[in-house]
Structure formats: structure tokens, C-alpha cells
Structure 1
């Protein structure tokens, strides 16, 4: 049958990228295009090709009149759809992301282009009414130094880039919706990326009020495949000019992009858990750089990566004056969680809070306002520690960590061997009192209910997320990221178990802790309106000081300096190579690293990090780190990418996972 085919008269060769999973086949292949396929087989469309005897999906990259292949070419088996789903801009972005993260283009394309839904694709698009620019009030941006000039730059279509420090109490969806609407009115498109569905819903609602609702589209993983593909097609076909979504939306095929918005770039959910593990912030900034368009990274707190963009001059600061910050911020108190303070107040002892924190909560409740209590996690106590010196309580038989399995437990139980300990005594200081390393939302709610009898207690976390609470007395216990908004703001916020957050063995522990605290504190009324935030921590800790002064920029600047001094990202680029010892050593043995590169390790795979896919459970996994200066980042990625392809072609070792600048280095 193939012998009877007639090749296309013009440009009879299609250069395609097969969607193959192995690194050594991440390259283009040429196929002949039949005459009857020629009209549909255009760059960007999905096709089927025969590769090593099996049909595989592929994308047409270009049509050509010649080939550099020596030998006989195969034929395109099928044009799946004539819809050009891979645009030129997205293809450039995919190439850049694969190069930046030492990955394959096929893996990036799986993140960028959703699966086809044939019924939706064949359905004609709804006709849109003529676009009428809406009047946008941008007075809210005048509170920020350079805010008016930034809005003017967007109106003029200039590529202004900023890291925006939102004021406490600021309605960030309204501010982002305003600059998005200004950009759309100027004839350009906007792409906004936020951490989760709650943020998508809030920003979408704000944008619908300020821009043409027909041209606003929200993309998120929660949509069904049919609806998600329908909305994605509206973006591809140019019907949507303001696109909002979670991390995967950063690849959306937005036409004539004029502004990229990113909110809360420190949130872990913006880091892709699938290969090649890109971060939405880096992809968004790559896209803004490629297209020479405007960009904004916003948040109540600031990451070292965002501060590095400001320090390099790529973006400028968009901050309010200290006077404006003091006017909007609540009063912040750092309180010692001492045994002496709890001895003076039985309720404080019951609720694990210093008396001053309870007093602030009582005043807020008396004034008719709700009180927010932020705890690090849900559930019951996962581990115990000495109440005096904080030494972790361990089993006498196997040294495993002890925990309380539930509210009715008679004693502590070892999490390793299961033995019960009815009497506890600290091996370090001899004290017989224990406390929770982290007490979850449910247990905290029970304790606070006893401390504030007669007051409603609301919990928000996990699957039971509360969106908002009314302006009446209530104690709201929430985990970070799902704190409900309160009508008129909270009267007080209590931040518990801070030492458990700050004491994590994590590069980003201080940065992430401040981000969580500021997100909660931003929901509290200003100092002038009686708002108080009580953080149970030592006031001398720099992260606590940054919260007291409400100085996220200073904290990020100090964090960046500290990482520069010890050679950690973003001051350098670092690759984590995970796999069996033989596989990792074989891969790194074939890598030609840039001059000045450091190899660190091997070490055991950090606790909490997933094992690489394809490695048998019985094989131990190690991690090696490769560190280079920032200007050698692409060279490092290219070297690892090449070595990975060579090892993949040999088939003599188990898979190795490569992550560039991973969130958790360990």
C-alpha cells in the first residue's frame, strides 16, 4: 500500500518530534508526506508515525523540500488532527525549558499540550461580540512607589518587569486584575499563574469584573478533560485574551502575550513533580524574556529567587513606603512559649499558648472579631519532645520516635516497633513533661475549645477547606495556605509551633516559614484597628524580626547573601542526580562538567524525597550534587543531558533522575 502513495508536490518531507520517553531519542526525524495529507500536515499538528515497528504520537515541527537522512524515508501514517496545537512561541519555550532543566522535549510537551478531545475540537467556536475596552480604576497601585509609572508602561505596551511586594491586607486579586485589564485594553494578552484552585477562583472573579468576561478563561487541573480542552482551544484560537491557571497554564498558547503575572512564587505547588521538574516561576520568566513582554511576580513575602531578579536588574522593586506598611500592618508580638508563662494561666497551659497570646485573642473575640490560629499540619500529634529542652522523645527499646496515636491514648507509642511507653523521662535533662513536636489542626481546635468555652471553633484544612468566615466571634484553626478570609479582617492571629517550622532541615525553611506567617498575618486588621499577630517564637530569630518589622525584602536580601556565601541556589546552579550507586557513578563518569564545577556526595536520598521511577525497591538510592556558577547553568544542563542520552542508549544501568535546582536539596 505504501508503494502506491504519491508524495506531496510541495515540501514533501515533514520533520517531526516523536513523543518518546528515552533521552537518546530526543531528536527530530524526517518522514514523507503523502499528497492527500499535505494540506493537513502543517507545522504544529499531531500525527502518528511508525517508529521501530510501532505507531507513536508525534508533532510536525516543519515542512521541508530536502532531508539530511541517508537512506529510505518512511511515510507519515496519519494526521491525527489539522489543529496546529504546537505554536511557534510554545515550541521555542519547550526547547528552552528542556535545555534549562536537562530534560527531553517530549516530557516538556506532555506538560505543555493537553490530550486531544476530538468531539470538542470538531465543535465550532461560539461567536464573540466586538471587544469594548472597560474603564479600569488603577488608584490602588498609587500606594506603591513606581506603581503609577508601572501601570502607564503597561498601557503603552512596554516590557516593564517588577517584583511586587503586596501590602498587608491588600486585595491582591483586585490589583492583579487591574493591571491585567489595562494590558488587555491596550490590545495585548495576559497570562496569570497562581498556586491553587482557590487562588484561580479569586483572581478569575476579580478579572470578570474588570475585563470582557467572554475573553477571560480559567485553566486548572480540576476541570474535566472535555471542558479543559475546550478552554485551552479558546486560548489557542485567540478567543481568550486573559488566561488564569495553575502551574501547567504557564505553557498556555496565548497569542500576542503582553504581560505574565505570577502570584506567591514560594508556594511548593508551583514546582512540577513530573520530569523535567520545571518551576512555574522560571518558565514564566523564560517566556517573558523570549517574547520581550512585561512581567510581575507578586506576594506578601519574597523568595531569594525573586530578589535575585531585582538584584540583577532584570526586574525592579514595586514596594510601598515604610509609612504605608506601618499603617496597614497589624501589631506583631513575639512570645516565649515558656513553662513559667503557662504556670500563671491554666487556660494557657491547656491551649499551649502564652498568656499574652490568649489575652490578645480574648480582646479580639470581645470586640466581635474572629481569631485565626495557624498550625503547621492537620491531625493528631505525630511526635513528642521534652517540654523543657525540646529533645525528641524516643523509644527505650529501638530508639524510634514516640507519638500519641489519638485523643484516647493512655500513653505514647513508638512509631517503629509499636511498643507503648506509659511513663516518659527526658534522657537529656531528666524532665518528665512532654509536648508535641507539631500538634495538628484537629487537636488544636479541641484544646482551644476548652480555653474559650462558648466560642465557636472552625477548622480549615485538607479536604474540609472553609472559604470565608463572617465578622463575629469565632476561633478559626487552619493549616497554611487554606486560611479563610474574614469579613472585615481577623482581630488577631496566633501562629503556633513556629520552632517546628524553623527547625526543619531544609534550605528554604526560614523563607517558607516567613511566607506562611505573612500570608496569615495579611488577613488581620491593621494596628490602628486593633489587629494583633502573636507568634510563639524567640524574638531574636531573624525570621521573627522580619515579621515584626514586616520586612520581606530585607529578609530575602539577607537570605540571598547567605546562600551566595555558602554556594547555594539561586546564587549558583545545582543539579541533583538520584539513582543507584552504579548508575549515578556511570552517568557522572561520562560527564564533562564546566570548569570550576563541584561534585558533592554521595549521600542517601533525603527523607521525604520520592525514589526515581523505575528503580527497584530493594536497591538503595543515593544522591550526588553538581554545583556550578550561575553563568555555567546551561552548560551544566547540556552536559548532564548528553550523558543521560548516552547512558539511555546503552541500556546497561537503571534510570537516573536529574533535577536542576530542586526545591529540596537535602
Structure 2
């Protein structure tokens, strides 16, 4: 009889380090700690730190990760005999000690649970892939890059030199308009890999992954870098992830979850466009990529680079605190590289005389700029804040959003509705509303709250007959790139395709819609989107123009006209500090039923009375189909000075653990430093 086939009563413990500490996959706050198990002799060789195991927990067989092996249990013999590890699911040590420590630190920072974070860090197992023979990779020697391109920026060449010498430099990079940011980041990765360390870059979306991966492959070789995204499928994603975990690949490019990629000896951790909402994890505990990489850089002694055309208040705080150095171009270099930016207010300017141009909300100055660019056989970019045709309707009298009387969903006008007498349709239940009546003022007329990208493309096609009009994003496929010939591209924010040689002009329409959201970060987000689109336009010396349809007196519009994201970020950070909002302070949003929110807030105040509480206030139910509109939900904001952030997270975690142990029925969502508090 083999050792493995004996009954558990006959099992004997391993002679050396017989106790294993296991992180069991139980997402309950009061059970968020490792549990000790005995290692049987027949599993001694396979039960190494990092492997997946199966253990009996509360009468059920559950999966978990073996964190470490020790000589004795911290619970002592008085707590009864320890249970056995039932099975080693796979001998592959998938959870490295560095990533395990990172998951624990992220969970603690966001008042979350280790099991939730490790689920983001380690992809699901694919047994067939594990059994495959590793592919032979041709890793060519990497040469240190020429620092000439980075020398255009203050401290740029010094940062590249620090990477080459293995120093843990921290920097915030403001990329020039027209800059090939994938090439610059590939050069930084090459300097890191040439020094014998690993490089990791996290970008917002698949299109950015493809651009960065191509640049990295050109520098490091096709086998020297892998791309990690959810679009790969479980088998291919796990195959590439294993190549990184086994040390066969030293450079990684990927989206959000790639921040936890098990890069061996990480030397450079970089994030591009850290203000993009794709970098915020929508699952508990809601970590943000930038903060994950900062935490990882601290622990691993790695360099950190936060890059983008814009600068967030969080990145500005890194600079003002002295933790990171700014990598920025001189003003003369910016002026030479930037297009000419003109702001046209919607209330004090005339639209073009062409009636179709008026329908497309194109002022005369913007119409003329587009016509000149098209006449020079150059493409024109038109940025529209919203997708759809007329996706948002409101009462023409009081401007209240139009809601369906059956399900309270938003009313819109789908494409083609003009052939059905222009009847509005609910975007949730699809009912057609033929006798609309405003619930606020009783008005019966509707107006367009915002015109969508498809309607804009349609009207621009009439305004510029004979010119091809293409859409990118907003229901249409996102274009990878467009040719340098004359044409119009209508894109939603984030879907703007680069043009060969750059656009001749960019029209940023409906600035009021971009700036009217009830959100703390609305100005920062508007500038980020405007700069991203404007950076695709030719320099002003080549005739490049940007027309933003927004009041020029607004500070964020002035920042775009001056191309001064750093100055705006400093003003934004100062304004946040004045009103006491992140990142100047640490803040948590506690959301749920009134009783549940009060339960958590009272527990936190009992532990630390000096914590400040704002609210609670009633909030709307989730704006999605199937939401229960009659359920009362509240939100309380809890804030402390930044130095007390860990204390706040600890008290919130304890409060959640207490409710979990009591099996409290109403869930509470806790978000530390939420990106949206409006």
C-alpha cells in the first residue's frame, strides 16, 4: 500500500518543517489570516511555498495557497491537533513570496481581504498548460539605449542612467505632444533589462498594449517580452504568465491585473496614463494600479515611473512630497511641439453659416480649421463626449433628465428614430414613449441633453460633402490608426486613433458636457482627455490646430491652451487640500443600507473618535437595468490626515470583520480613496 493511499489516521508528519501556513480561499473578513495545517510525509516534496493546495476548512474541501512552512504552529498543542493538507493541487509554485507580500499589503491598504487580492494576482490554473514543455525562447543580449530622446526632458537622461545602474529612482513623466511614448518606455525597459533586472508596464487598454508590446519587442526581441491581458483567453494567458513566473521572460506589458505579474527581480515598474478609470479595479477591495505599483516599488526596491500627457493630483503629490522627481520638458520645447490651441465659448460665439455645421455644433473658427486641414490633405479628429445618436434627452423646460415612467430608465433617441416621428425610447426596457410628461414641471417637450458620436458623424458628413467620415468607439470598432489623407474621424474619449504624421486639426466638441458631471475629478478628467486627443495633432509650425468648444475663462481650459498639465495638477492638489479631499487626505466611502453604514461608522468612531465623518447622505441606486429603485442606500465619507491612512484602513477592516463574524445580513461596500465621490 502506498503512503498516499493510507487513511489519514495512518499519515505521519514531515520530519522537517511539518507545519504549513495556508491562505484558504475564504473571502470573509473575520477569516482573513493564514491557517496552520500539518504536512504529511507523502506531500513533503511537493508542498513548497507558493503551490496551490486543497485543505479541509469548516467541513468543506477548499482551495488555498501554501504561504510558508514552519517548525511549530503558533497555536501550540493546547489548541488540538492540526488538520492535514489534503492535496497539493499542482507542484507549480505560482505565488511568489514577493507577490504574496504585495497582495497582503494591498489588502491592508484598502481594508480588503487577501483572498480577493490574490485572485487578481494569480490567474486560474490551466492543467494542460502546466504540463506542456516550456517553449524555447531566443533571448538576445539587450544593449543600453541611446539617451538622446530622454535628454529632451529635464532629468530624463539621469533617470535612464539610474535604471542602467539598478537604482530605485522614482519619477513622474510629462510626455510631449506627438511623443512616441511606447518607444520611450521601451528604452527605459531596455536600460533596466540590460542591468539584469525585470521591467513591468501597465497601460489602460488593449490598443495601448499592442503599441507598447511592439515597441518592447523591437528593443528586447520578440521572445524578451510578453503581453498579459484578459482578451488572450485562459490557456494563452496562463501560458504567458507561467513564462514570467518561471523567469523565462524579464519584461511584461499588460492591463490592470498585470500590476501583480511575478516579474523576477523587478527593476522598473511603470504605468501609463494613471488617471484613466481603467486602472481602477471594479472588484473589492478596489485597488488602483498606480498605488499598487507604488506599494510594490517600496517593498521591492524598484524604480517607479508614472507617465502621461496629463498629470493627476496623486502624481503631483508624489512630486511635491519629494518622493518622485518630475521629468518634464522646458517650456520652449513644449511650445515647439504643441499645436495651436483655441478655446471657443458656446454662448458667445457664432456657429458656422452652413446649417449642417450648425447641426454638428461646429463654431465658425472650428469649421474653418477643419476645412483648411482637409484642404491640405490631412485628417481631422473630432472628439465627442458621448456615444450613440441622441443618448440623453431632457425636459426642454426644466432640463431634468427624461426618465421612463415604467422602469425609471433614461430616455434616448436611437438612430433611425426620426423615421418613427422622433419618439423617445427607454434605454433600459426599450419602451417607446409617445406621451412624455416631465415629472418635475409637467413639460411635454424634450431636448437633446448631449448629441452622440453617431449623430455627429452623420451631420459632419453633410457639412463636408465628399469627405470620408469614420467613427472610432461609441459602438463602432476602435480604429488602430488612420492614414494621413484627408478625412474626418469622430471618436469618443479614449478611442482616438493615431494618424500617420499627425492630424491637421482636432475639434473638441461639447466641452460643457465634459465639465458638467457631478464628480470631484471632472476638471482633471476633462484635461486628461483633451490633452490625449490634442497630442495626436501636428505641431503648430506644421499648421496643427486644436479647437476646444468651451469657455476660455475656465482654468482647465486655460491649462489646455497653455499646455500646462503640471501647473494645473498643482492647483488641483491645492484645491483638494483646501476642501479636505484625496489625495490630500485619506478618505473612505462607506455605502450600504442606513443601518449597515451606521454600524461600520460607529465601530470606527469607537476605535478612533478623532476620525472625521461626513454624512451620511442618501444616494441613488445603481444606474443600471434591474436596479431596485425603492431601496434606500446611504453613503458616509470618513477621512483622516494622510499620516493616519493605515489606521483608518485597519479600523475599517476590523469593523467589517466584526460584521462578518456576526453574519450581518446587509453588505457594506468600503472604498478607500474612491475615484468618484460626486
TM-score of the alignment, normalized to the shorter chain, above 0.5: yes
Which of 361, 374, 389 is residue 352 of structure 1 equivalent to? 361
Aligned to 1:39: 45
Residue by residue over 1:137-167, the C-alpha shift from the partner in whole angstroms, topping out at 9 and shown as x without a partner, is 3311111011111111111111111100000
Aligned to 1:300: 309
Aligned to 1:639: 651
The answer to whether structure 1 residue 58 and structure 2 residue 64 are counterparts is yes
Distance 2:227 2:490 in 1: 30
Asked if the contact 2:339/2:540 (under 8 Å) is kept, the reply is yes
The answer to whether structure 1 residue 234 and structure 2 residue 247 are counterparts is no
Asked if the contact 2:344/2:550 (under 8 Å) is kept, the reply is yes
Distance 1:557 1:549, change over 3 A: same
Distance 1:363 1:503, change over 3 A: same
Q: 1:418 offset after TM fit, Å?
A: 5.7
Residue by residue over 1:66-108, the C-alpha shift from the partner in whole angstroms, topping out at 9 and shown as x without a partner, is 1133111111100111111111111110111011000010111
Residue by residue over 1:538-594, the C-alpha shift from the partner in whole angstroms, topping out at 9 and shown as x without a partner, is 100111100000000011111101110001000011111111112222222222454
The answer to whether structure 1 residue 155 and structure 2 residue 172 are counterparts is no
Which of 206, 217, 220 is residue 197 of structure 1 equivalent to? 206
Aligned to 1:532: 545
Q: Equivalent residue of 2:450, what SS?
A: coil
TM-score, normalised to structure 2, is 0.92
Q: 1:382 offset after TM fit, Å?
A: 2.5
Which of 192, 197, 217 is residue 208 of structure 1 equivalent to? 217
The answer to whether structure 1 residue 560 and structure 2 residue 573 are counterparts is yes
Aligned to 1:518: 531
Asked if the contact 1:351/1:447 (under 8 Å) is kept, the reply is yes
Q: How many residues align?
A: 660
Q: 1:608 offset after TM fit, Å?
A: 5.0
The answer to whether structure 1 residue 468 and structure 2 residue 474 are counterparts is no
Q: 1:600 offset after TM fit, Å?
A: 1.5
Aligned to 2:24: 18
Which of 474, 488, 491 is residue 478 of structure 1 equivalent to? 491
Q: 1:410 offset after TM fit, Å?
A: 2.9
Q: After alignment, is 457-466 or 317-326 more displaced?
A: 457-466
**Unpaired stretches in structure 2, ≥5 consecutive residues:** 1-6
Aligned to 1:48: 54
Aligned to 2:339: 330
Distance 2:362 2:334 in 1: 28
Aligned to 1:602: 616
Which of 387, 393, 403 is residue 378 of structure 1 equivalent to? 387
Asked if the contact 1:23/1:104 (under 8 Å) is kept, the reply is yes
Distance 1:263 1:400, change over 3 A: closer
Asked if the contact 1:365/1:473 (under 8 Å) is kept, the reply is yes
Distance 1:434 1:339 in 2: 24
Asked if the contact 1:189/1:254 (under 8 Å) is kept, the reply is yes
TM-score, normalised to structure 1, is 0.94
Q: 1:420 offset after TM fit, Å?
A: 3.7
Residue by residue over 1:363-386, the C-alpha shift from the partner in whole angstroms, topping out at 9 and shown as x without a partner, is 000000010000012111123469
Distance 1:650 1:278 in 2: 26
Distance 1:523 1:571, change over 3 A: same
Map 1:583-594; keep pairs closer than 5 Å.
Answer: 583-591=596-604, 592-594=606-608
**Unpaired stretches in structure 1, ≥5 consecutive residues:** none
Residue by residue over 1:397-434, the C-alpha shift from the partner in whole angstroms, topping out at 9 and shown as x without a partner, is 9999765343435346485996446999x989x9x998
Aligned to 1:85: 94
Asked if the contact 2:357/2:460 (under 8 Å) is kept, the reply is no
Residue by residue over 1:606-647, the C-alpha shift from the partner in whole angstroms, topping out at 9 and shown as x without a partner, is 565789x9x988642221111111111110010010111111
Residue by residue over 1:418-460, the C-alpha shift from the partner in whole angstroms, topping out at 9 and shown as x without a partner, is 6446999x989x9x99863221111100000010011000001
Q: Equivalent residue of 2:66, what SS?
A: strand
Which of 660, 663, 667 is residue 648 of structure 1 equivalent to? 660
Q: 1:390 offset after TM fit, Å?
A: 9.3
Distance 1:593 1:395, change over 3 A: same
Q: Equivalent residue of 1:327, what SS?
A: helix
Distance 1:318 1:272 in 2: 27
Aligned to 2:419: 408
Q: After alignment, is 538-547 or 408-417 more displaced?
A: 408-417
Asked if the contact 1:579/1:655 (under 8 Å) is kept, the reply is yes
Q: Equivalent residue of 1:60, what SS?
A: strand
